[in-house]
Chain A
Amino acid sequence: MTSLLSTEKTGSQVEESHPPGGFYRWITSVDHKVIGKNYMYTALTFMFIAGAMALLIRTQLFNPNGHVVGQQTYNELFTIHGSMMLYLFAGPFAFGGFANYIVPLQIGAPDMAFPRLNNLSYWLFLTGGSTMLLGFFTASGAAAFGWVAYAPLSSNPYSPGPGPDLWIVSIALVGFSGIFTGVNLVTTIFYLRAPGLTMFRMPLFTWSMLVTGILILVAFPVLTAALVMLYADRHFGAHFFSVQGGGVPVMWQNLFWFFGHPEVYILALPFFGIISEVVPVFARKPIFGYRGMVFATLAIAGLSTGVWAHHMFTTGTVLLPFFSALSLLIAVPTGIKVFTWIATIWGGQIRFGVPMLFAMGFIPAFVMGGITGVMLASPPIDFYTHDTYFVVAHFHQVLIATTIFAGFAGIYYWYPKITGRMLSERIGRWNFWITYLGFWVTFMPQYLLGLRGMPRRIAVYSATDGFTFLNRVSTVGAYVMAIGMALFLVNVVRSWRRPVAAEDNPWDGATLEWATSSPPPTHNFHSLPPIRSARPVWDANHPEHSDAAPVIAGGDESAH
């Protein structure tokens, strides 16, 4: 039994009095903090593996007619690179890692609502994720049809062998894992908030994760269903997606993107949430327009289900004005968010800690990617640029801005809470600036390449195409980014070797996770401060600058 205010144990809890040790403890723990850390380590490992593949891809494209890898291998590489980054890193890192660890702390809960289910989610993620890599060890290789697995390319005649099936099983398992996490997040946020923590006092990161959870529940089941249909087509002679049997190949695209576009916001919203935590703390101001942020988040969620076919403009089968208009609309709440962050920074007493560097770097990077997204949402431009490097540059800029820059803002921000150790500010700065430089050098040339007509997903181009120089610049940029990312590992290793102890609240944070120790004890809190506003820890530490209803020790006069 766990009580919030007292730590006394009731003797009756057999498991609690004899905690197992070592490896067994690790696989049996249902503590959201242990599971959250497992998710982070695993997702980051997948990220570094997929990053290595990206370097191979870029090396291949350094020279015209590159021959670092063969054509088939190239297709496998970009497929597994994209699939790992999107399914195994970006999403699980956010809603399995950060959300799992931080959300219960931010709402003053002892754990997630379904701790055992949470543990199961992790095992499905780990086994499912590793299954995708198994494809490389089969004779016919891994899946090679892109992360979107368009039919009919993904059907049996064109993609035979176990590699594609392993991919399908992998995504299905990871999808179930995601659905379970979604259920867990929504339930936890609805039912386990601390007394006084009303919905409109929740930290914005928690809000983002609530909406992400709802989006997961809308989107992931569609993907799972589509995968079942694809498998049935491949092995049971169904003809959902094959013309010969009376099926409709474009239906795959409809199903996939009905999942796929909400998915890109499932990947983005948690990281928006991180920025909304870091920016006010480092600007030493409350967020500008809390409610506006909440409604923008909800509006993005609503709209994101109505725009899927902007990925399918060139199929000629979709309602162009409808999807174009809704896609343009989604830029409005996104823009509100960006202006809110800027307005929060404006006039603040800014401290340029490493989390803030990453957060401020995120803003222009995301805006650049977002603006080109708006351009792509207009069919005349998309007809010209679809399936070119222009699109590649667009989605890499939004995705790296969110998952890497905002993600690292989150890592540097919460690392002291999670480990009880500080990361080095000096290495952190180098980590940021080198990665950031590499990012722009890698992706700006790709917009130009796209406009000049370089198609995506090609293993070779010819020396007469005029693509050579820009590709070389891009490849150099990719290596620079890799060096920057390696510095993060250096920083982590350093904090293991020469630990610098972190205080409980090193950044003067305002939300409940900073009210407990670093790292927090099992079941998180020995006691909670009174919650009278969206910034309970700030109210407790700076009563003179607080706008919360006052608390009178021993009884609350204001309540009468």
Chain B
Amino acid sequence: MRTESRIYLGVGSFFLLILIVYFLWSKESTGSVLLLASAGLGILPGLYMGWWSRRMRPRLEDVEVVEPLDISGVVGTFPENTIFPFTLGIGAWLTGLAFVFGVWFAVIGMGFVLGAAVAATVESKRASLAEPANRPAPGGDGRLRDR
């Protein structure tokens, strides 16, 4: 995580440097505001990751020498097929077309977007319940176990 943090901090500080020179020299506002926003965009996540990198054990992807044992096992859960991004995309597109062809497009579009948002949430909740690690303990209260 340390390298990741440094990349963000490095790029962010560089933007900050350009900002200072640019603002003092030109007093032009549009570019200064944009540079300020960019500097923030670099420095904030950089600080956040740096903060965490000091408080956690190095991750396996950050150590130079890993034991073969470390690289076995589960990486994570990845979904395979779902229709809802497509639905959401169509909804967003129709909503976009509303800006050209009239508000009624947005009515249909937002219907798709909201429907897809709800359905995708339900779907991923189901999928995570189907994971053995998340399955409610037999006889438990049916809630997700803490991990």
Contact = CB atoms under 8 A, between A and B. Distances in A.
Contact of B81 (A15, A173, A531): A15
A541 interface: no
Contacts of A555: 67-68
B77 A196 contact: no
A123 interface: yes
Interface in B106-140: 120, 124, 127, 130-132, 135
B80 A255 contact: no
B77 A254 contact: no
Interface in B51-68: 60-68
Contact of A115 (B21, B30, B78, B130): B78
A305 B18 contact: yes
Chain B interface mostly helix, strand, loop or mixed?
A: helix
Given A119-B85, A559-B65, A302 B14 contact: yes
B85 A127 contact: no
Interface in A407-464: none
Given A162-B101, A190-B4, A308 B31 contact: yes
Nearest to A4: B75
B77 A322 contact: no
Contacts of A217: 41
A119 B34 contact: no
Given A110-B75, A255-B30, A28 B64 contact: no
A14 B81 contact: no
B84 A116 contact: yes
A128 interface: yes
A532 B3 contact: no
A111 B131 CA distance: 18
Contacts of B130: 12-14
Interface in B88-106: 88-90, 92-93, 96-97, 99-101
B71 A196 contact: yes
B142 interface: no
**B8, B71, B73, most chain A CB atoms within 10 A:** B71
Contacts, number: 212
Given A298-B10, A319-B26, A195 B99 contact: no
A162 B82 CA distance: 34
A270 to B, nearest CB: 17
A214 interface: yes
Interface string B1-45: 001100110110011001001100110101100110010011000
Interface stretch (A19-27, A44-52, A352-360, A484-492): A19-27
**B28, B35, B75, B132, most chain A CB atoms within 10 A:** B75
Q: Which range holds the interface residue count of chain B? A: 35 or more
Interface string A36-66: 0000000000000000000000000000000
A192 B61 CA distance: 8
Contacts of B68: 530, 551, 554-556
A532 B127 contact: no
B83 A27 contact: yes
A162 B63 CA distance: 56
Contacts of A19: 80-81
Interface string A534-559: 00000000000000010100111011
B15 A302 contact: yes
Contact of B96 (A110, A173, A193, A306): A173
A273 to B, nearest CB: 16
B78 to A, nearest CB: 5
B146 interface: no
A533 to B, nearest CB: 10
A298 B131 contact: no
A116 B85 contact: yes
Nearest to A252: B30
A199 B77 contact: no
A131 B88 contact: no
Interface stretch (A163-171, A383-391, A472-480, A495-503): A163-171
A332 B51 CA distance: 33
B96 A128 contact: yes
Interface string A205-220: 0000010001001100
B29 to A, nearest CB: 9
B81 A25 contact: yes
B36 to A, nearest CB: 12
B28 A298 contact: no
B61 A258 contact: no
Nearest to A257: B31
Interface string A5-21: 10000101111100110
A117 B82 CA distance: 11
Nearest to A109: B75
B64 to A, nearest CB: 6
Contacts of A193: 61
Nearest to B7: A298
B97 to A, nearest CB: 7
Contact of A173 (B60, B84, B92): B92
Interface string A75-118: 00000000000000000000000000000000001110001110
B86 A5 contact: no
26 contacts: A1-B131, A2-B75, A3-B72, A3-B73, A4-B72, A28-B81, A28-B83, A28-B86, A29-B81, A30-B82, A30-B85, A31-B80, A111-B78, A115-B78, A122-B89, A127-B96, A173-B93, A195-B63, A195-B66, A198-B3, A199-B4, A199-B62, A214-B42, A301-B11, A322-B22, A531-B66
Given A15-B82, A119-B86, A196-B60, 18 more contacts: A2-B76, A2-B78, A3-B72, A3-B73, A4-B73, A4-B74, A192-B76, A194-B61, A198-B3, A214-B11, A251-B30, A255-B34, A302-B18, A318-B26, A528-B71, A530-B71, A549-B65, A559-B65
7 smallest beta-carbon distances between A and B, as pairs: A123-B89, A195-B60, A127-B93, A119-B85, A193-B61, A302-B14, A120-B85
